Chains A and B, each alone.
Chain A
Amino acid sequence: MTNTTQSKFLTAAAATVSRLYQQLSRLLGRQAHEQAEPVRVHADLCLAQAARLDRHYADLALPEALLQAFSSEPLAAGDTRFIGREDQLSRLLAALEMWRAGHSSMVAVTGPQGCGLSSFLQQLPLRVADNESCRYGKLTHRPYDINDTLVMLGAIVGGKPSVGSVEELVEYINGLPPSVFVIDNGHFLACRIMGANKAIRIFGAVMVATQHRHLWVLGCQEYAWRRLVYVYRADRYFADRIELPLFSEPELSQCLTNRLQASEFALSAGSTGADAQTPTLLARQLSTLYKLCDGKPDYAFFCFLGSLLVHDESRQLELQPVVAADFSILKQLISEELFTLAEVASHGQLSIDDHRAVFRCSREESWLLLERLYRQCLLDKHETTAEPDYHLVPQYSNVIGSYLANANYLY
């Protein structure tokens, strides 16, 4: 080989190595510092935790009307802030028509946590005729035994305070005038705790045994629904499963615009954007916001509110660049912590005793593990009951869920 050929070969090899390195670095996400627009990173994930969120908004001096308009609480029937979901509502109405025509039916409404499942279910009473009854009930805990199941179902159908047996309850429910029963928080039925199996089967059996008279609508988070399908073959019993996806970019835009209108604040430079509805400043940030939150409204509200500046006198808002959060802490978690997060994600929430039952560890170990994840701001907790319930920080549930699914802890 001549010297020229060799030098060409070496140059080509060096260039190939360099290109390969660049491609790999890009693929592995290691070139953030070379991006034209540097991304600011949240130093503190904890700002989204309930205990810190109010303080965070207070520091930003956001007006109460704005906070209320962008609240993540479920929207009541007829709330003007409820947008979209036309296809899903029409499928729900079709199920309602089938039921009116005398067909037995149960409908499941599923979606990722924070997609607006409760708001969607609460719109159903508006679609029910005046002479029809519609009862909306929320599960508040998971049924651990048969008596618990009977009491929970009795409360949902608005029935007797005490029912002795399953047969008695079925007879009672079948004696009620035809109604639509909406059950929210169905994730409480996806339970991996020994002993709860029978209680959950009976819950389903009562629904099946009374579906020829009543329409049952079960709202359930996506991962919990998958568990119900894998373990109990729940999909075999439901006539339809309506999936609520996260918002698309236009839907998110409409959602934010609606909420801004509800707050009676306006973004400065208040002329409208390309679609004649979205404020220009919002339109500029919308794409970034959408990429950050992946269409998840509560996370979008969190990012959006965090980047607002309020001018008191003019009631005008200024939108600063939207800030990305840093989830690299997920990469540092060990197997036990990832399994815990996965079970919290699919159960919706876990108390210390629940965690102990799922993982068969001591109470102290469970407490330590859950508290550690809480301190890392991946979990939040309700402390209303005697024992706190830990759940994923709602705004981050999608990011955490995707990470766990990719790492094969959640499916």
Chain B
Amino acid sequence: MQEDVIVELVELFSISRLLQVALVVFIAWLLLRILHAGLQQLIKRFPRYRLQMGQVYPVIRIFMWFLVIAYIIFGLIKPPQTIVFAVLGSLGLAIGLAAQGGVRNLLAGVMMIFNPPFRVGDMVHFGGHYGEVIRLDLSVTWLRTLDDNVIMVPNSAVLENAVANANSGELSEMVVINIDLPRTIPIQEVRSLAMEAAVASPYTYLKKPVSVIMESRYDFGFLLRLVIKVYVVDVRLERRLSSDVTERFIEALHEQGISGAHGDTAEHALIDEPA
């Protein structure tokens, strides 16, 4: 029985059939390249819609390869049922034993197609990393962190951990800037300066509200934490906005002589990373 199956398999994979398969794969690959290049051009032409356009490609690519595989198996090779069952059985066993993690990632990838927690271009906390989603594959997701590292995160992390999406398909996202100040500062004046610094930055997205709140905290002494919540015009400028607002604010404190007036200097302020 096994010998028959092997003979049938060898007959199925003749040179001409393999060439046909290669041709179909090549055409599918070419179509995807053209589609990708076209989408990239569209994104260049309409940058405002880059996130919406970017989310189309991963889905199309996965469906395209599904179709190609189905066409190759049932349209070109057309294996007899015995071989199909034999191959499926062997594959099932092999996958079941050796590729549990991979299958898990694949399933998570399929789930992400129908219920996407993020899209290409979103800023996410995912698998213990924070960065921009630059590519979505069936089993892994690629992130570019703020330090310009590219990280591959298995999709199964979606099933195991919470995913935080900072912008959910929009170009703007909220940036939280924490600045710790001595408790002796004149609160109203400082608050007003922080607000003005946030609005003055060219990277601030003014269509959405800017807010400044104060919190009391203890860190080797009582401090006031100034929390500036501001939206950035483009997720890629998150760090630049954070730095710009902080610099403007500290400079304004110096100009107003606020630090000196209360015996503290602005250099003593502790500035946190954006959340």
Q: Which residues from chain A sit less than 8 Å from chain B, CB to CB?
A: 1, 6, 10, 13, 17, 20-21, 24, 27-29, 192-195, 197, 227, 230-231, 331, 339, 342-343, 358-360, 405-409, 411
Contact = CB atoms under 8 A, between A and B. Distances in A.
Interface stretch (B124-132, B200-208, B261-269): B200-208
Contacts of B20: 1, 6
Contact of A28 (B41, B199, B202): B41
Contacts of B76: 1
A194 B31 contact: no
A227 B171 CA distance: 19
A6 to B, nearest CB: 7
Contacts of A407: 47-48
A406 B27 contact: no
Contacts of B252: 194
A392 to B, nearest CB: 16
B86 interface: no
Interface string B118-149: 00000000000000000000000000000000
A407 B30 CA distance: 29
Contacts of A343: 202
A345 to B, nearest CB: 12
A6 B16 CA distance: 12
A28 B53 CA distance: 14
Contacts of B23: 10
B171 A408 contact: yes
Interface size class of B (residues with CB under 8 A): 20 to 34
Contact of A17 (B34, B47, B205, B233): B34
Nearest to B41: A28
B47 A28 contact: no
Nearest to A358: B202
A192 B200 contact: yes
Contact of B205 (A24, A331, A405, A411): A411
A339 B200 contact: no
B248 interface: yes
B75 interface: yes
Contacts of B207: 230, 411
A143 B9 CA distance: 84
Nearest to B35: A20
Contacts of A227: 206
Interface of B: 20, 23, 27, 30-31, 34-35, 38, 41-42, 44-48, 75-76, 171, 196-197, 199-200, 202-203, 205-207, 233-234, 244, 247-248, 252
**Minimum-distance CB pairs A-B, first 3:** A230-B206, A24-B38, A408-B48
A235 to B, nearest CB: 13
Nearest to A5: B75
Given A17-B30, A28-B42, A194 B206 contact: no
Contact of B41 (A24, A192, A339): A24
Contacts of B34: 17, 20-21, 24
Contacts of B234: 408
A192 to B, nearest CB: 5
Contacts of A339: 202-203
A193 B200 contact: yes
Contacts of B44: 331
29 contacts: A1-B20, A1-B76, A10-B23, A13-B27, A17-B27, A17-B30, A17-B31, A17-B34, A24-B41, A27-B42, A28-B41, A28-B45, A29-B45, A192-B199, A194-B196, A194-B197, A197-B196, A197-B199, A339-B203, A343-B202, A358-B202, A359-B202, A405-B48, A406-B48, A407-B48, A408-B47, A408-B234, A411-B206, A411-B207
A360 B241 CA distance: 12
A27 B37 CA distance: 13
A80 to B, nearest CB: 41
Contact of A194 (B27, B30, B75, B200): B200
B107 to A, nearest CB: 32
A399 B247 CA distance: 34
A268 to B, nearest CB: 41
A193 B23 CA distance: 61
A17 B35 CA distance: 10
Contacts of B202: 192, 339, 342-343, 358-359
A194 to B, nearest CB: 5
